Amino acid sequence: MSQPRLIDGLQFARGAETLKGSLDLSRLPRLAEMRCVIQCLSYELRGRTDVQGRCWLQVSGDGALTLECQRCLKPVTFPLAFRAELLLAESEREIEAADDEFDRVLASKAMHVDRLVEDEVILALPMVPRHEQCSDGQGGTKAGKPSPFAELAKLKRIQ
């Protein structure tokens, strides 16, 4: 196995660097634990600075992944697309003291690219993965009101 991809966060942002790649599930133990199988996922990292000299990392990706349906336990495939703007913080204290709405990540000279992408994939996962309609007809939501979880999952997918 090759070495993990690392970036020097601040240097990457200041140099307005970009990096493209695709995820390798064998590097992503947290997703594997969730029985999440990535069908394909290409990602892009972009560094930039703003007028205030702050350093940002944009992490975006799209692809498809398979999870276990919570109703019939068979695989269900979801499209996956995300884009996050992360403000690079130079210390934990800066992150704790922040009182705005920006997402921050601690900058270091050796940031794991796969882990950054994996964090965003986890945030983008459906909360309750389920088929719209399970093929074997099992599950209790066929008749009557849809469960609130199904409604939530639908909303989340539309966003």
- Looking at residues 71 to 90 of the shown chain, list those that interact with Zn ion (rule: CB under 5 A): 71-72
Identify the three-state secondary structure at position 56: strand
Tell me if 67 contacts Zn ion by CB under 5 A.
no
Applying CB under 5 A, among 14, 58, 131, 149 the residue interacting with Zn ion is: 131
Q: What is the spatial distance between Cα 3 and Cα 152, in angstroms, rounded to a whole number?
A: 39
Contact 20, 41 (CB under 8 A): no
Tell me if 150 contacts Zn ion by CB under 5 A.
no
Q: What is the spatial distance between Cα 39 and Cα 48, in angstroms, rounded to a whole number?
A: 30
Tell me if 68 contacts Zn ion by CB under 5 A.
no
CB of 125 to Zn ion, least distance (A): 16
Contact 112, 50 (CB under 8 A): no
Applying CB under 5 A, among 23, 28, 69, 113 the residue interacting with Zn ion is: 69
User: Which positions touch Zn ion (CB under 5 A)?
Assistant: 69, 71-72, 131, 134
